[in-house]
Amino acid sequence: MAVSGDTTLDQDNEGTVLEDLVVITGFSGAGKSTAMQVFEDSGYFCVDNLPPEMIGGLVELFTHGGSKVARAAVVCDMRGGALFEGLNAVLDDLDARGVEHRVLFLTASEATLQTRYKETRRRHPLAQESSVAQGIAAEAAVLEPLRERADLVVDTTVLSAANLRRKLVREMLEGQRRTRLTVTFESFGFKYGPARDADLLFDVRFLPNPHYEPELRPLTGLDPRVVAHVAQEGKLDAFYTRLEALLDFLLPQYVAEGKAHLMVAIGCTGGRHRSVAITEHLAARYGSREDLFVERAHRDIKRAG
C-alpha cells in the first residue's frame, strides 16, 4: 500500500469536511497508476492498493478533528486478492452513511492489456499459475458489478498516458463531471478486422486508393501528397460535405444526452492512407470545439502496405 499527498494532521484544529472521495478501480494494466497521479497532482490525498475494508477507517480518519484532508483518491484492485471482492459492500456502506464518493473504472481491450503486460514483463495478479488471458477473464467476472455502478468508465485502449490525464482532468476535476463529450476518431483497415467498440463506422473504400501508386504506397495519410491523391476526383470534398453535416447534427445530441465517449471509426482497405487522412481532417475540424474533447488514433498505420 502506497500513500501520497499531504498527510498532516493538526489535533488543535477542527476537522475539514471530506468534499470528494474517488475510488479508482478496474482492470490491471488499464492505467490506474496514471489516474492516481492525476488526482495527486491536483492536491488529493492518495492511497494505492488499499484493501477495501480500510476505506471506512480512512474516511473516519479524514473526518476526525484536526484532519486537513478534504479530497482523497484510493486505488482498489485485484492486488488485494480475496479482500477485493468486498469492495461492492464497502461502497454500499458509504452510500448508507451518506459519504460523498465517486467511482472511476478503467478498462481496455483484452489485446491491449495483454500487450501491456508483455511490454512491462509484470505478472498479472490473477495469472500466477496461468496465462495472462486467463487472468484477464477471471478479473472481468469480478469487476463487472463495479463497472455497472461506476460514475465514469474510461476505455484506455487508444489513449496515451497524456490523453488519459487530460481526459480525467476535464471529466472529473473541472467543475461538473462529464461537461464534455470525448470523441475518438480512429482509422483502421478492413483487411485486419473491423474496429472495436465503434459507435459510428464509415467505409471510405470508394475513394481513390494511393496503394496502387508506387510512389505513394510507402507513405501514409499524414502526407499531403496522399491527401491530394485521395481528393483528386472531388469525391472526398463531397464526402466531407455530407459527413460533417451529419456529425454537426449528431454530436450536440450526444452531448445533450450526457454521453461520455463516442468512437467514430473510419475504415479503408489497409488503414494507412484514406482512413488516416480523413481521421486527421475530422480531428482537426472538431478539435477546437468547447463542448468536445477530441482524440485521434490510427490502429493500422504502422502495418506493412
Indicate if the pLDDT at residue 183 is higher than 60: yes
Q: Which one, of 43, 48, 41, lies nearest residue 25 by Cα?
A: 48
Confidence (pLDDT) at 10: 39
Model confidence at 86, pLDDT cuts 50, 70, 90, reads confident
More confident residue, 131 or 253: 253
Taking residues 82-91, report their average pLDDT: 77
Between the ranges 92-96, 217-221, 300-304, where is the mean pLDDT highest?
A: 217-221
Beta carbons within 10 angstroms of residue 184's beta carbon: 24
For a pLDDT cut of 90, what percent of the chain falls above it? 42
Q: Which three cell numbers mark 203?
A: 467505409
For a pLDDT cut of 70, what percent of the chain falls above it? 83
Model confidence at 138, pLDDT cuts 50, 70, 90, reads confident
List of domains in the chain: 2-173 (3.40.50.300), 181-298 (no CATH)
Confidence (pLDDT) at 242: 97
CB 157 within 8 A of CB 108: yes
Confidence (pLDDT) at 145: 86
Q: What are 47-80's pLDDT values in tens digits?
A: 988 888 888 888 888 876 666 788 899 998 877 6
Q: What are 6-28's pLDDT values in tens digits?
A: 444 333 444 457 788 999 999 88
Confidence (pLDDT) at 265: 97
More confident residue, 171 or 82: 171
Query: H helices of 29-129, where?
Result: 32-41, 53-62, 87-97, 110-120
Could you list the beta-strand ranges (E) of 211-284.
261-268
How much is the mean pLDDT over the chain? 84
Cα separation, 168 vs 165, in Å, equals 5
Burial 53-72 (b: 16+ CB within 10 A, else e): ebbeebbebbeeeebebebb
More confident residue, 259 or 216: 216
Confidence (pLDDT) at 261: 81
Taking residues 100-106, report their average pLDDT: 92
Confidence (pLDDT) at 60: 84
On whether the pTM is more than 0.75, the answer is no
Residue 175 zone, left/alpha/beta (φ > 0; ψ -120 to 50; rest): left
